[in-house]
């Protein structure tokens, strides 16, 4: 692993600030946090694609919600527990959530030229470790997942040219309501891409946009079916209306020797709703 150091005139080096112990503890807290806030976190049944264990991974995503950084920490801990996960965040936003620095989040001033240089500098240092994962909300700002065309900032394309052994994976994310009181978190991983200097930054940007758009389109179609059978449940949240009504239903079921069914949709025998 690269030796941690300080960046002159800038934030602390994320490699030095990140705490693996705090990362694990926070990921357990996030399980409860998402359990409280969502009906479920669901991954398309295509699953996490296979990629070499000894190579760094860049996961580039659309950016539709405030929840994204927390979701990526949760997914890193659940799906890639043996990897060191990092991710950039707009510097002004990170000032309000400074604790995220301890979990691998580093600030980038997107309005200044030095912000792009810092992003590339830190990202390349992170990705020099073969067991690293870098999560990038490649659209840069909050964007509705239904908007087309999908437009990405150039950061991932520059990394695709600079980090020879990296594997880039598009990740489509949606937060949507189905048939329960709380929303669903849906995600789909796309086809891995091998980093290469053979393409220009412009060509890489076009390719990355095309692959992410394809993943987002398929996820949107899966989401529209409201069929949990198309997904693997990574985390199940709380169901029911809440409050006095759910208490009454629990008592009523208990009096009949049954288990209360609080979800709006009756679970199928395969466990999906």
Whether residues 203 and 122 share a domain: the answer is yes
Structure tokens at 33: 């946090």
Whether residues 229 and 245 share a domain: the answer is no
* 122-170 per-position pLDDT tens digit: 999 999 999 999 999 999 899 999 999 999 999 999 999 999 999 999 9
1 in any annotated domain: no
* 91-109 per-position pLDDT tens digit: 999 999 999 999 999 999 9
7 in any annotated domain: no
* 177-221 per-position pLDDT tens digit: 999 999 999 999 999 999 999 999 999 999 999 999 999 999 999
Whether residues 55 and 164 share a domain: the answer is yes
H, E, C per residue of 131-188: CEEEEEECCCCCCCCCCCCCCCCCHHHHHHHHCCCCEEEEEEEEEECCCCCCCEEEEE
- Per the CB < 8 A criterion, the answer to whether 180 and 239 are in contact is yes
Q: Tell me which residue range forms the domain holding 263.
A: 240-273
Whether residues 80 and 190 share a domain: the answer is yes
Whether residues 246 and 176 share a domain: the answer is no
When divided into structural domains, the chain yields a total of: 2
41 in any annotated domain: yes
pLDDT of residue 245: 43
Whether residues 91 and 111 share a domain: the answer is yes
Whether residues 246 and 230 share a domain: the answer is no
Q: Is pLDDT of 6 > 50?
A: no
- pLDDT bin (cut points 50, 70, 90) of residue 265 is low
């Amino acid at each position: 692993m690269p030796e941690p150091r300080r960046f002159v005139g800038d934030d602390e080096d994320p490699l030095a600030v990140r705490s693996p112990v705090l990362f694990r503890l926070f990921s357990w807290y996030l399980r409860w946090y998402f359990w409280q806030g969502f009906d479920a976190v669901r991954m398309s049944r295509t699953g996490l694609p296979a990629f070499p264990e000894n190579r760094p991974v860049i996961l580039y995503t659309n950016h539709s919600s405030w929840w994204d950084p927390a979701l990526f920490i949760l997914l890193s801990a659940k799906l890639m527990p043996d990897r060191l996960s990092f991710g950039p965040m707009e510097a002004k936003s990170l000032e309000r959530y400074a604790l995220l620095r301890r979990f691998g989040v580093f600030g980038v001033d997107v309005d200044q030229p030095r912000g792009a240089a810092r992003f590339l500098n830190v990202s390349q240092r992170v990705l020099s470790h073969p067991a690293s994962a870098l999560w990038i909300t490649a659209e840069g700002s909050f964007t509705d997942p239904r908007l087309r065309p999908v437009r990405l900032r150039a950061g991932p394309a520059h990394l695709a040219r600079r980090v020879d052994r990296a594997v880039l994976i598009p990740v489509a994310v949606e937060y949507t309501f189905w048939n329960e009181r709380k929303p669903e978190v849906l995600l789909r991983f796309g086809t891995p891409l091998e980093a290469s200097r053979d393409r220009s930054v412009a060509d890489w940007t076009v390719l990355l946009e095309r692959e992410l758009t394809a993943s987002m389109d398929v996820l949107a179609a899966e989401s529209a079916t409201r069929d949990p059978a198309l997904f693997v449940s990574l985390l199940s949240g709380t169901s029911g209306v809440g409050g006095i009504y759910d208490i009454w239903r629990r008592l009523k079921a208990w009096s009949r020797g049954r288990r209360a069914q609080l979800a709006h949709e009756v679970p199928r025998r395969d466990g999906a709703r």
